[in-house]
């Protein structure tokens, strides 16, 4: 019987299934992935997965489960493993993506993705996952609910405008649309009140949010969204990771001298954080001289206003991390004079 030094179950999480690969580090420190199987992303699937792993694994080394932070689909299994006292590491998607690029993988499938996660877990010393604080979990639920309501209200307002400008408007349809818009507005106010009450009850969180709102353009709601979506920066270790987590990092396709694509933001990250940074960036550009100067310089350099706006979004997001870690109010000196374009 092999007595491995380390055992890892790498899991590629989807909405309906968990694709699992098992790997081990042998006594001679060589690594191998030796089994693969799919399970339903349900409580019954979770139970079947643990039974299968008990049959497949050997030796005294405890199995470490490794998975990506994939929106909400991984959360139920993560809490299940935590309740069962299993070792679990949750990794930011950009880390796995960067690791996969170092492997000789020509076709990416769910199976190959789970195998890559397994190898990543075998080669790295990963931190053990802890459930997010209850306050951040509640705030995430409320801020996402509000975001859905705002999107729905925008759609209804567009429908109302179209109905009102028709040659023969249906007044009963207009009345119903107005009622639905009013209902959503009331519900949004209720959610904002609930958010404010949750923050008020947590003295430390309230104080830290006050620090974050000292950053130009960052309001209380934006600060709450960032903290809720990052679980208080739980998995974030530096500014670069945070930018990547939000999908605001740049990607560029180049090959020799013949192929050179325009740099674009990856958008491979948390869209809620990315969306939350748009209006604050416009407010910072409009009201703060330093950000206005940066914006003007970037626009004069490449002539693309949106690209300059995204650069401001990145800087504001980085500043929230700096303020959170330093526990100090915003200082203009945090804004580096050598701004990265």
* DSSP per position, 243-261: HHHTT-SEE--EETTTEEP
Task: Render pLDDT for 176-186 as a digit per residue (tens, 0 to 9).
Answer: 999 999 999 99
Distance CA 15, CA 194 (A): 29
Quote the pLDDT of residue 262. Answer: 63
**Which of 13-22, 125-134, 203-212, 277-286 shows the lowest per-residue confidence on average (mean pLDDT)?**
125-134
- Residues with Cβ < 8 Å from 71, sequence gap 6 or more? none
As assigned by CATH, the class of the 6-123 domain is alpha beta
Is residue 309 within 8 Å of residue 279, measured between CB atoms?
A: no
Distance CA 247, CA 267 (A): 4
Q: Is 116 exposed, middle or buried (0-12, 13-18, 19+ CB in 10 A)?
A: buried
Quote the pLDDT of residue 340. Answer: 42
Distance CA 11, CA 21 (A): 7
The token pair that represents 162 in the structure block = 């179209």
Q: How far apart are the first and last CA of the chain?
A: 56
Domain boundaries, the chain: 6-123, 134-201, 206-341
List 251's β-bridge partners, or say none: 264
Quote the pLDDT of residue 265. Answer: 76
Quote the pLDDT of residue 336. Answer: 58
**What is the CB neighbour count within 10 angstroms for residue 282?**
16
H-only helix segments in the chain:
43-56, 75-83, 93-100, 110-123, 134-164, 171-201, 203-212, 220-230, 239-245, 271-276, 278-287, 289-302, 305-326
The token pair that represents 53 in the structure block = 């792993």
Quote the pLDDT of residue 252. Answer: 55
Per-residue pLDDT averaged across 283-312, rounded? Answer: 94
Higher pLDDT, 104 or 58: 58
The mean of the pLDDT values for the chain is 90
Q: What is the per-residue DSSP string for 169-200? A: --HHHHHHHHHHHHHHHHHHHHHHHHHHHHHH
Quote the pLDDT of residue 33. Answer: 94
Q: Reduced to 3 states, what is the DSSP secondary structure of residue 88?
A: strand
Q: Looking at the predicted structure, is the pLDDT value of residue 295 above 80?
A: yes
Q: Looking at the predicted structure, is the pLDDT value of residue 335 above 90?
A: no
pLDDT over 70 for what percent of the chain? 93
The token pair that represents 23 in the structure block = 């790997």
Distance CA 117, CA 100 (A): 8
Return the residue matching tokens 């639920």.
Answer: 141
Q: Looking at the predicted structure, is the pLDDT value of residue 132 above 90?
A: no
Q: Reduced to 3 states, what is the DSSP secondary structure of residue 127?
A: coil
Report the run of H or E that residue 269 belongs to, with start and end.
none
Distance CA 281, CA 42 (A): 40
| Strands 63-68 vs 87-91: parallel, antiparallel or unpaired | parallel
Q: Looking at the predicted structure, is the pLDDT value of residue 53 above 70?
A: yes
**Which of 102-106, 210-214, 297-301 shows the lowest per-residue confidence on average (mean pLDDT)?**
102-106
pTM: 0.81
Q: Looking at the predicted structure, is the pLDDT value of residue 98 above 60?
A: yes
- Residues with Cβ < 8 Å from 210, sequence gap 6 or more? none
Is residue 135 within 8 Å of residue 231, measured between CB atoms?
A: no
Q: Looking at the predicted structure, is the pLDDT value of residue 341 above 80?
A: no
Residue whose C-alpha is closest to residue 34's, from 63, 5, 71, 8: 8
Distance CA 68, CA 77 (A): 12
| Strands 63-68 vs 6-13: parallel, antiparallel or unpaired | parallel
Is residue 18 within 8 Å of residue 49, measured between CB atoms?
A: yes
Distance CA 324, CA 209 (A): 9
The token pair that represents 212 in the structure block = 């974050």
């Amino acid at each position: 019987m092999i007595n491995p030094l380390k055992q890892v179950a790498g899991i590629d999480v989807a909405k309906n299934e968990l694709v699992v690969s098992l790997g081990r580090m042998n006594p001679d420190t060589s690594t191998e992935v030796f089994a693969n199987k799919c399970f339903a992303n349900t409580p019954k699937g979770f139970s079947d997965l643990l039974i299968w792993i008990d049959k497949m694994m050997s030796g005294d080394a405890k199995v470490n489960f490794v998975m990506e932070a994939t929106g909400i689909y991984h959360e139920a299994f993560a809490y299940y493993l935590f309740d069962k006292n299993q070792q679990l590491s949750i990794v930011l998607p950009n880390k796995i993506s960067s690791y996969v690029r170092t492997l000789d993988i020509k076709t990416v499938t769910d199976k190959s993705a789970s195998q890559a996660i397994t190898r990543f877990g075998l080669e790295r010393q990963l931190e053990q996952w802890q459930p997010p604080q209850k306050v951040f979990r509640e705030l995430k639920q409320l801020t996402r609910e509000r975001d859905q309501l705002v999107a729905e209200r925008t759609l209804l307002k567009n429908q109302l405008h179209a109905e009102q400008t028709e040659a023969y408007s249906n007044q009963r349809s207009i009345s119903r649309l107005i009622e639905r818009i009013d209902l959503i507005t009331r519900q949004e106010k209720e959610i904002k009140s609930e958010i404010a009450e949750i923050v008020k009850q947590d003295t430390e969180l309230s104080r830290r949010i006050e620090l974050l709102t000292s950053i130009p353009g960052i309001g209380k709601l934006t600060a709450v969204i960032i903290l809720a979506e990052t679980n208080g920066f739980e998995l974030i270790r530096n500014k670069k990771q945070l930018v990547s987590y939000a999908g605001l990092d740049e990607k560029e396709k180049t090959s020799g001298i013949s192929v050179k694509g325009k740099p674009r933001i990856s958008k491979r990250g948390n869209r809620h954080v990315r969306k939350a940074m748009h209006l604050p960036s416009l407010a910072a550009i409009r009201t703060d001289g330093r950000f206005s100067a940066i914006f003007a310089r970037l626009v004069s350099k490449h002539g693309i206003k949106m690209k300059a706006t995204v650069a401001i979004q990145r800087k504001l997001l980085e500043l929230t991390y700096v303020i959170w870690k330093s526990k100090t109010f915003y200082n203009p000196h945090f804004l580096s004079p050598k701004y990265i374009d």
